[in-house]
Structure 1
Amino acid sequence: MPVEPAVTAEVSPEAAFGRELRRLRHERGWSLEALGAKVGYSGTMVGYFERAERPVPESFVPIVENVLGSGGKLAALWQEMDPRHPQKWFRRWPKIEAAARTIRSWEPLLVPGLLQTEGYARAVLRGIPGATEEEVEELLTVRLQRQGIFSGRTPPMYTALMDEGVLHRPIGGATVMRGQLEHLLALMDHPRFTVQIVPLEAAVTTGLLGGFAIAQLSEGRYWAYLESASDGQVTDHLDEIHAISLKYDTIRAWAHPVHVTKEVVREAMVRYEP
Structure 2
Amino acid sequence: MANEVLRVAMAEKGETVESLAAKVGVDPKTAGRWLTSGRIPHPRTRIAVAEVLGRDAAELWPEPYRRRDLPWFRPWAELEQDATSIRSYQPLLVPGLLQTEGYARAVLATGGLLAPAEVEQIVASRLQRQSILAATVPPQLIAVIDEVVLRRLVGDRAVMAGQLAHLAALAELEHVQVRVIPADGPWHTGLAGPFVLARLPDGTELAYLDNQLRGQIVSDPLDVASLGRRWESVTGEAFPHRRSIELIREVATTWR
The TM-score, its normalising length taken from structure 2, stands at 0.77
Q: Which of the residues 141, 144, 147 maps onto 2:130?
A: 147
Moved more, 145-154 or 173-182: 145-154
1:135-160 deviation digits (Å, cap 9, x = unpaired)? 11111111111111122222100000
Q: Shift of the alpha carbon at 1:209?
A: 2.9
**Residue 266 of structure 1, CA deviation:** 1.7
Q: Deviations over 1:150-186 (max 9, x none)?
A: 2222210000000000000111111011111111111
Matched, 1:216 2:199: yes
Q: Show the counterpart of 2:65.
A: 80
Deviation at 1:259, TM superposition (A): 1.4
Distance in 2, Cα, partners of 1:250 & 1:184:
23
Root mean square deviation of aligned Cα: 2.5
Instruction: Indicate the residue corresponding to 2:149 in structure 1.
Output: 166
Q: Which segments of 5 or more consecutive residues in structure 1 lack a partner in the other structure?
A: 17-50, 57-73
- For residues 133 and 191 of structure 1, do their structure 2 counterparts lie closer, same or farther at Cα, with a shift above 3 Å needed? same
Q: CA 1:132–1:6 in 2, change beyond 3 Å: closer, same or farther?
A: closer
Matched residue count:
217
Counterparts of 1:266 and 1:146 in 2: how far apart (Å)?
Answer: 25
Match of 1:268 among 239, 251, 256: 251
Q: Which residue of 2 aligns with 1:180?
A: 163
SS at match of 1:181: helix
CA gap 1:3/1:250 in 2 versus in 1, 3 angstroms:
same
Q: Which has the larger radius of gyration?
A: 1
Gaps of 5+ in 2: 1-28
Q: Which residue of 1 aligns with 2:33?
A: 3
How far residue 200 of structure 1 moved from its aligned partner, in angstroms, is 1.2
Whole-angstrom CA distance in 1 between matches of 2:91 and 2:251: 16
Q: Which has the higher helix share?
A: 2
Give the CA deviation at 1:81.
3.7
Question: TM-score, normalization: structure 1?
Answer: 0.72
**Structure 2 residue aligned with 1:138, among 121, 130, 135?**
121
Residues 71-123 of structure 1: per-residue CA shift (max 9 Å, x gap): xxx9xx636243x544x332111111100000000000000000000110110
Per the TM alignment, residue 129 of structure 1 is displaced from its structure 2 partner at its CA by 4.2
Question: Which residue of structure 1 lines up, in the alignment, with residue 3 of structure 2?
Answer: none
Matched-pair identity in %: 35
